[in-house]
Each structure stands twice: as structure tokens, then as C-alpha cells.
Chains A and B, each alone.
Chain A
Amino acid sequence: MNKNAFSLKVLLVLIAVVTLSCVKDVDFDQTENLVLTPIFEADFVYSKVNTEDLIDVDTDIIVPVVRDTISFDVFSTDFAIDNLEQLELFFKFENSMERDIEFTFIFTDDAYTPLHSFSRVAIKGTNQIPVITETTEIFDKPTLNNLTTSSKIISEIRVIDTTGSLQGEIEVQSTATYFVRYQS
């Protein structure tokens, strides 16, 4: 075979290999079906409430409402609005007081306008046998949609029994579980 002709053929074959290379058996449009569903779990609030916290030291009478405000603007972020599918707030109350204590959480906007609230009762126990109450508040998507301007949580603690000893302590522990769903 003429060497130049052979050279030309080899050259053409290599050029063909490089230029006619292809990407096949793949479908990049599958990204449209990509659904990421990570679940993040984080501590939410905690507290230890004892007798002194519930009684006014000046008047020695029970404080009607013990209130606190925390900044919590997770729901108003673009990420949450677009991708947060569900939120579960898990509470564990350990009550050694002989009275039921109610905890209320009020979600508000910057102007303290209430947007959503819920209450849970820490069931009374005794100093010897504290009672553990575990409860979960679920925020579904429609509820979360109502909280897109939420930026604060007001917490309120109320003594709702009129009888029984206030000696003791309530320990509150909680976690928030964020169910995320990324989908285009």
C-alpha cells in the first residue's frame, strides 16, 4: 500500500474517532425527576422551670404567664418556602410539680401578629415520681404556607391547676425534624 495513502487513512480514522465520538445511553433530562428528600433533625427549645420561676418574689403569688420571645425566621426563608415539606416538633416534658403546666408557642411576624399557635400540657407528677409527657406537633405544608412571614416565636408558660404543690421542676426538651423535598 502506498505509504501516503495509508497515512491518510489512519489520519481519517483517528479524526473520525475523535469527531464522531458520542454520548449515548444517557438521559440528562432525568434531573427533572430528581427528588432529594433529606431529613434534618436539630434541637429546638429546652428549659428547666422551677418553683421560683413561677412565683413573683415580690408578691409571692403565681405569675399568670411566664413569657419569652425568640427569633425564629426559618419558615420565611426562600429555602423553606420552596422546599420544606413538613416540620415535626417533638417535646419531652418531665414534670415533678403537682400541677399541670401548659406550654403555648405562638408564631408571629415582625409586628407580633399571631400566625399560628399550639399548646401542650406537661402532666403533673410528684417529686418522687415525675411524669414524662412526650408529644409531637406536626406542621404540614398548608400550615407552613401560612408561616412564610413568621419571624418570632413567643413561648408562654401557665400554671393551669389551682391546687397542688408547686414544689419541683419541669424539664423541657425538644427537637425539630425538618422534612425537605428538592424537586424542580
Chain B
Amino acid sequence: MKKIFCLVFALATGMLCAQNKEQLYDFTDVPQSLLLNPGAEVNFKSHVGVPFLSHIHVNAGSSGASAYDVFANDGRSINEKIEETLTQLGSRDYFTVNQQLEILNFGWRSKNDVYYSGGIYEELDVIAYFPKDFAVLAYEGNRDFVGETFRLSTISATAELMSVFHFGYNKQVNSRLRFGGRLKLYSSIFNARSVRNRGTFTTIESPNGNNIYQHIIRGADVRLQTAGYASLRDIESEDNADGAKQVLNKFLNRALLGGNLGIGVDLGFTYDIEDQWKVTGSVTDLGMIFYTKDVETYKAIGDYTFEGLNLPIDFSGDQSEEQDVLDDLEEAVSYDTIHDSYSAFRPMKLNGSVRYSFNRYRSASCDCYLDSGKIPYMDGVGAQVFMQFRPRQPQLALSLFYDKRFSKYFRTKINYTIDDYSYSNIGFMLSTYVSKINFYLAANNVLEYQNLAKARGASVQLGFNIIM
């Protein structure tokens, strides 16, 4: 129990943010910007990502507290710090982990000037809201909370591991507008979700009741939906020596379109208002996954009031009729395991930006990036907005950025972002291009890297591409 409590706390306060990639968005020198906006500007003829190394992304955050808040080596007892953090955290605070590993990425420009791109990537996405009410119950008990309601709705979390196969289209529609779309096929490896739970647990004084208190479970409706879990559990229970191999084989099979399938689209555009002003926008992961295989849902529904055990129930000393409170509870609050299919929307993301470019490159012999023939501006400033839909409420981030191109070989971007995690999030990105090899590295919250324990969110993306 203590370990579970510590784990929840460590995760909720860990430094490990939303899937915002504010540095990479509209950073058009890097092909992966097409995954954030399929209608992004593309100035190269073709590209191939270095397999497994073209996009490595880790992004994690906690909206309420940092690891330092709980584990600071400051002479105070950890119990004191946990109590303070418990008070500080609310049921809308959450932690997220998002990780992506690109396996394959490629693209080419067709004769009719359409840029096609495609690839495969693996993604892990976890969000768990802080179960405030039950954390308080576990930490302090109910004795000092008589009359207060503990809400089952504070339990809300989803976890998804999947592979994504995608193919996109990007075309300059007219002199000002570029439009793009991407079709995605999701193959879920594992899913677990417990959202929209309902019901309350309350202990009240009962001056006119049978006993001193009444413990009331009212309108309970708690569900945990899983897909891809039951068969893994069976492997464990068989205690097979090659269990790990079987798990790996199952994961590989599911990753290669053998899992629960889903479909989605990305849509985006770039619009040149005038030569130096540009707006972009995109919606990504507009889709859903249909969970029909290996599905197991656990649900508990009902109402129950406990007043203690009533005695005596007979006067004969017959011990065959024993009262058992757990039997009564199980009868009142039915617990079932069902195997009904379910579906779930992907966490849709919206990105948008406005950009002003200036300082056009003046050299007669332009060493413009990728020799696209288009004389670039060396500097750009602008603003970006990001929103991701989540089970409780959307996550929102606003960024200001400055983008500087130093040469054909080197371009950087710096962002200042306000989000749920921080008001002092400075992000930095650089991209190099040498002998057709592109390397990019982006990180946010860089001011916190001197001590990540104090950071509420951190994100890193890096990768290698061959661009022609």
C-alpha cells in the first residue's frame, strides 16, 4: 500500500507535459514538422529518416508539483512535505508521459509538386489525474473527515501503447495557401482507461440510525476498461519460461496491425497573408480506436449503506447462519468482468501559429537551405497556440518564439511557453544540415535542466534525417 501511495505521489510529482512540441512545430527544415502540421511548408525534394533514430521524443510533466516538493533534501520530514503537497494538489492536477519512437519516415516530391510522406512510429501516452479524494483517504483515513464526501470521479486515467502507420499529402494549392492531410492507421498494443467514474463515499453521523455512523456508497459506477491485458495476464499465470518471449511476440504482432485497429486523420495548412506574414494551423489525431480484441472491463455499480453488524440474529447458538459484511457489500455493489467491445477517441491536438519573418538573405550567391531556390528570411518571430483534448479538460499552451537561421548549416529557435506546468518555460531547438545529413535537437524548460527535480515538465526531441 505504501509503495502504491509512493508511486502515485512520485508520478504525480515527477519531473518526467502534454504532447506539445512547440520547438518543432512549423520548424520547416525538419521533416518531422509534417507530423505536427501536414500542411507545413516543405522546401526539400525528398527525405528519409534514419530508421529508429529519426525521431526520439520523451515528454513528461506534472501540473501540480515537482519531485523537489516532496523529496527535497532540506531537513524537513518527508511526511511534512507530503502533507503540504497533498494540500497543494487538486483533483484537476495530473501527470502525463508521452514517448514516441519513429521507426520509419520518408517523403518525396512528385512531378506534380505534391509532397508525399509516410512512416511508422510507436507511441506511449499516459495521463493520470491526481486522485485527490482517495489520496487523502489513504493518507489520513476517514476519522477526521466525517460528513465529507469522497468522490469516485477523482479516479481518472488512461494509458495507450500503439504503433501508427501514416501517409500524408502536402500541396501548394495556390500562391498563398498550402494544404496537407495525413491518414493514420492505429494499431493498439495495450490500452487501459478508467474515465467518467461516478459515485461517492461518505461517512456521516447517524443520531437517529441504528448505529453511530452510516458509511454510504451512493451511485457508484466505476469502470476499468482494458484491451490487450487479459492475454498477457494469462501468460504470467502459466508461469512459462519463455513468457517474456511470448509477450514480445504478442507486442510485435499487435504493433504490425495485429492489434485493435483505429483510424484517424491529420489536417493542416499554411497561409501566406503577405510576403512576411504567415499563419498556420493543424488538427492532428482526429480519430478513434475500436477495441474489439482481448477486451476485459471491470465494473462495480451500486449503492450500499453500512451501519455495522446487527446482532443477535438468532438465539439458538446455531453457527451456520453467520453474517458477513463483505457478502452484503458484494450483493449491493455488483462487481462484474465483461468483454464488450468499446471505442475511444484519440486525444486530438490543435496547433496554430502566426509568424512574421524579416532580414531576408542578401547574398547574390544564396546558400539558402536545401537550395530550394527560395531566398529565405533569416529571422522570424511569432506566437503559437497548442491545445490537446484530455479526459477532464483540454490542456492549453501558449508560446512566443524567435527563429534564427545562421547559415545553410544551422538554424535555431527559442520559445517562451506558458502552460499548466510552468510560467517560465524556455525551450530551445537547433537543426544542422551537413552533407545532406540533418540532425535536430529540441528541449524545453531548459532553465530547469540545472536541477530537473524542480521542473514540473520536460520535453526532448532529437533525430537524424537524410534530406535532399
Among B119-127, B248-256, B303-311, the one that faces the other chain is B303-311
The reply on A129 being an interface residue by CB < 8 A is: no
Known pairs A38-B137, A41-B213, A44-B308 / 9 extra A-B pairs, C-beta < 8 Å: A7-B432, A10-B410, A18-B449, A23-B67, A25-B73, A38-B139, A45-B311, A67-B317, A70-B311
Interface residues of A, Cβ cutoff 8 Å to B: 3-4, 6-7, 10-11, 14-15, 17-18, 20-28, 30-31, 33-36, 38-49, 53, 63, 65-72, 79, 83, 92, 112, 152, 154-155, 157, 173-175, 177-178, 180, 182-184
Of B6, B138, B319, which contacts A38 at CB under 8 A?
Answer: B138
The reply on B409 being an interface residue by CB < 8 A is: yes
State which size class the interface on B falls in. 35 or more
CA distance A128 to B124 in the complex (A): 71
Of A25, A31, A36, which contacts B451 at CB under 8 A?
Answer: A25
Q: Which of A31, A43, A48 has most B Cβ within 10 Å? A: A43
Can you give 7 A-B contacts (C-beta < 8 A)?
A11-B432, A11-B441, A41-B142, A41-B203, A63-B315, A65-B317, A67-B316
Q: A17-B443, A157-B312 are in contact. Are A34 and B79 (CB under 8 A)?
A: yes
CB of B98 to closest CB in A, whole Å: 17
The reply on B412 being an interface residue by CB < 8 A is: yes
Q: A26-B72, A69-B322 are in contact. Are A36 and B311 (CB under 8 A)?
A: no
List the A residue with the shortest CB-CB distance to B454: A25
Of A10, A17, A36, A43, which contacts B306 at CB under 8 A?
Answer: A43
Interface residues of B, Cβ cutoff 8 Å to A: 1-2, 5-6, 15, 67-68, 71-74, 77-79, 82, 137-144, 146, 203, 210-215, 306-317, 319, 322-326, 406-407, 409-410, 412, 428, 430, 432, 441, 443, 446, 449-453, 460
List the B residue with the shortest CB-CB distance to A179: B141
Q: A36-B139, A45-B309 are in contact. Are A175 and B213 (CB under 8 A)?
A: yes
CB of A53 to closest CB in B, whole Å: 7
CB of B83 to closest CB in A, whole Å: 11
Q: Which of A65, A178, A182 has most B Cβ within 10 Å? A: A182
In the bound complex, residues from chain A placing their C-beta under 8 Å from that of B432 are 7, 11
CA distance A18 to B443 in the complex (A): 7
Contact B406 A36 (CB under 8 A): no
